[in-house]
Amino acid sequence: MPGRNRRRADRSRRPGAPARAHRGYRSSASATASGAGPSPSGGPPGASCHRPLRGRPVTGPPQELSGRGRPVAVSASGAFIDDGDGPLTRLIVKPLLQRVLRHPFADTGAMEEEIRATDLAWTIVRPPRLTDGPRTGRYRVSLNRNVRGGLILSRADLADCMLSRLDDPATVSAVVCVGT
């Protein structure tokens, strides 16, 4: 699109691949989108996929992104129960899900707390269960509260949502919840 910064992604799961993907971003980029998670092997039960930054500012992996715009972190709506959830989801589905996924969700909560504790402008995006479906552009968004009935979302629609809101000032230091 004319007038916009070029965006590119490296889908590789190789160690160091995200660092290579971020090289070449112009410093005028409005945000840095990054996703992190457990290793492909999954690690031992209860192993943390969130690595505390030990006092360093959260700028999104890798650390050389400092000064490249606000970090946009992908979280998980399943880790959080709020008034945006319907009664069945709030009372049965999410408590069960949180019990089964307690270790990854603990990491998700720690990641969000660490990001919120910084002095950076940030955006956290909370999708529901992700699928490999195509981009449809048909999804709903809610700021700072879960999307009622938003149970699934394609990864392509998640990317579309993230990129379409980079220039939206309402999403700065806010949680963007998205679902179909």
Contact 98, 105 (CB under 8 A): yes
Q: Is 129 helix (H, G, I), strand (E, B) or coil?
A: strand
Stronger pLDDT, 88 or 11, i.e. the higher one = 88
| Percent of the residues in the chain that have a pLDDT greater than 70, as a whole number | 62
pLDDT of residue 130 exceeding 90 = yes
* pLDDT score of 167: 87
* pLDDT score of 140: 96
pLDDT of residue 123 exceeding 70 = yes
* pLDDT score of 18: 41
CA 24 – CA 36 distance, rounded (Å): 20
pLDDT band at 101 (very low <50, low <70, confident <90, very high): very high
Each residue's pLDDT tens digit, 25-36: 344 455 666 555
Each residue's pLDDT tens digit, 51-70: 444 344 444 443 434 555 78
Residue 110 sits at the vertex; the CA angle it makes with 147 and 59, to the nearest 5 degrees, is 90
Stronger pLDDT, 74 or 18, i.e. the higher one = 74
pLDDT band at 166 (very low <50, low <70, confident <90, very high): confident
Beta bridge partners of 141: 178
Report the amino acid identity of residue 112.
Answer: E
Distances (CA, A) of 164 to 42, 103, 131, 141, 176: 31, 31, 19, 11, 12
pLDDT of residue 12 exceeding 70 = no
Lowest mean pLDDT among 2-16, 22-36, 108-122, 133-147: 2-16
pTM exceeds 0.85: no
